[in-house]
Structure 1
Amino acid sequence: MKNILLLSCLLVSMNIISQRVIDLPFTPNPDVKWSTGEKEYFSEIWDTQVITNVSVPRLEVYEADQPNGTSVIIAPGGGLYGLSINSEGRDVAKWLNNRGITAFVLKYRLVPTGIDGIKEITDEGNTNPAKIGERVSPVLPLSITDGLAAITYVRTNAKEMKLDPNKIGFMGFSAGGAVTMGVTFNYSKSTRPDFIVPVYPWMTVIGNYTIPEDAPPMLVICASDDPLGLARPSATLYTDWVTSGKNAGMHMYSKGGHGFGMKKQQLASDDWITQFHAWALTENLTKPTLN
């Protein structure tokens, strides 16, 4: 009897956390080839759950029980070698669900690596940082294309999912922030995000950019003590938006480091997602939660 109860609880738990997964259309690049299959595992180096070797872009769909029409596509970070899938992905999605926002965690294409992509990027960062740029260069355009495909999917299926096709946001962390901004600098009329939230975005990999005439509202999140030096480019991004007469907000925390996502550090930056929600309410991009 005890074993039956345990099995029942396990099945219920699996049903609660399981989500619909959507394969996104993509065009392969013959110059980028994966010899290792997609892998999800706990990285002791980063002390978090990660995914590596994504070769087929997918969306994990997190539907709110009472959708208010707003949706957010979430691009986790990981240097394009991996995805910090929980603290910068699934945990964000679940928080948004509790506020009536439907979320889509984007598994965009990544740099082909061996069995431990996190070890590879860590070793290269310590011994040969230039190699990271070389490996990322042909992959980032694919990742950006995956982001645009995600917007197409959400907008095309908005009515069926009780979503407003004019309230589709794109939120990305670190390398996912680069994907967010790549999407922003390359969208068409049908793939324009309605608002963007680059969180400690990796802007140096984007290079020079031109702000679109119809640039969406933007909220930048970062910490001044980001060890990767992302605070200054984040502030510049905000300044460029404002100088161009576009709608922009920013929360630059004095402390938080890099990759804080949904982790709790007993710092003011722990509250960034609440600040995002308050901003979205202020901009009429979402609705208050009904109690």
Structure 2
Amino acid sequence: MKKFSLILSFLAIIQIGLAQEFIELPHDKSPTVKWTHTEKQYFSEIWKTEVVTNVSAPTLQVFQPKKPNGTSVIIAPGGALYALSINSEGRDVAKWLAEKGITAFVLKYRLVPTGEDAVQEVSEEGSTNPSRIAERVTPVMPLSVADGLSAVSYVRENARKYKLDPNKIGFMGFSAGGAVTMGVAYNYTENNRPNFLVPVYAWTSAYPVQEAPKNAPKMLVVCATDDPLGLAPGSIEIYNSWAKAGKLPELHMYSKGGHGFGMKEQGLPSDDWIQRFYDWSVAEGITSTLKSE
């Protein structure tokens, strides 16, 4: 039985490609935010997807293609900062990118400390006491953004190790991960500046839109008009702020798609958003279609 389990584990590794490396990122511990439960991964019946909760130490999972083309993307899954939709907005995205020669890093950033079922907690608070969500998210958001910046620093410092171009590092985030993306966009230094940004249905009420930085990275914004959380206007505001600063952002606003579509298949044009990202990255000179040997 033990041998059989080892074989299954090996096959699982093969199926997800070269996603065998996990890195704990440098981070300063918070003097005020404390976690009493350990990090946990489980299938949420409420959200109908695999989630990770109670992240107290940021990590990266590396998805390295066989023939990297030099481009890399750090992926920040969403989940209201209570959880991470680790597959649909994380590992599945990374696998798709790796197939295109793009080295992907799935970021598990620090989350709101919760009990055993974070999804149930945030769902109940959303129905009965929405202001409580903001109260719990506010002290954690700076930690999550710091984790995003630390991830960019790590990838740039280790570009040679992964056969990457240090000037082609992107940051892509979904929902709460989109808020982290914008936090990174407004707080980078020379060493941890991403070269391009992809906020996907970003939670702009958690991290409000500001003026674009003077040396703002290239940006692709993705969202759906029918997002039930009302995130479409915020995505348009992000786009407008970059355009107002004289940048040339791109916006894909799908009429239908809802919220949290990630890599889910709904039989809608929004299913192909990631192909549109790839097309944009090639057109912008971010991604080379010629994979290195």
Identify the TM-score tier after normalising by the shorter chain: over 0.9
1:12 counterpart residue number: 10
In structure 2, the CA distance between the partners of 1:68 and 1:123, relative to structure 1 (3 Å rule), is same
Does structure 1 residue 28 correspond to structure 2 residue 24?
no
The aligned residue for residue 217 of structure 2 is 216
How is 1:62-141 mapped onto 2 (pairs within 5 angstroms)?
Answer: 62-141=63-142
Query: 1:52 touches 1:81 (CA, 8 Å); kept in 2?
Result: yes
How far 1:171 sits from its partner (Å)? 0.1
Q: Deviations over 1:133-167 (max 9, x none)?
A: 00000000000000000000000000111000000
Equivalent positions of 1:48-67 (< 5 A) are 48-67=49-68
Q: Are the counterparts in 2 of residues 99 and 289 from structure 1 also a CA contact under 8 Å?
A: no
Q: From the superposition, tell whether residues 4 and 244 of structure 1 become closer, same or farther in structure 2 (CA, over 3 Å).
A: closer
What's the C-alpha RMSD, in Å, of the aligned pairs?
1.5
Contact 2:209 2:238 in 1 (8 A): no
In 2, Cα distance between equivalents of 1:243 and 1:64:
37
The answer for unaligned runs of 5 or more in structure 1 is none
Show CA shifts across 1:166-223 (max 9, x none): 0000000000000000000000011110000000000111135231000001000000
The 5 A counterparts of 1:212-291 are 212-288=213-289
Aligned: 1:168 with 2:166 = no
Counterpart secondary structure, 1:103: strand
Structure 2 CA distance for aligned equivalents of residues 124 and 181 of structure 1: 25
Hey, what's the Cα distance between the residues in 2 that align with 1:140 and 1:58?
16
Give the deviation of 1:5 after TM superposition.
Answer: 9.2
Contact 2:65 2:99 in 1 (8 A): yes
TM-score normalized by structure 2?
0.96
* Residue 192 (structure 1) aligns with: 193
Give the CA deviation at 1:11: 4.0
Ranges in structure 2 where 5+ consecutive residues have no aligned partner: none
TM-score (norm 1): 0.96
Task: Supply the AA of the counterpart residue of 2:89.
Answer: E
Question: Match of 1:257, as an amino acid?
Answer: G
- Structure 2 residue matching 1:134: 3-state secondary structure: helix
What is the CA–CA distance in structure 2 between the aligned matches of 1:183 and 1:23, rounded to whole Å? 19
Task: Answer whether contact 1:216 1:247 (CA < 8 A) is retained.
Answer: no
TM-superposition CA deviations, 1:225-268 (whole Å, max 9, x none) = 00000001101110111111012001000000000000000000
Residue deviations 1:27-73 (CA, integer Å, cap 9, x gap): 11121000010000000000000000000000001101100000000
Paired residue secondary structure (2:69): coil
Identity of aligned residues (%): 60
The one-letter amino acid paired with 2:10 is V
Runs of 4+ in 1 over 3 A off after TM superposition: 3-9
| Aligned residue identity for 1:191 | N
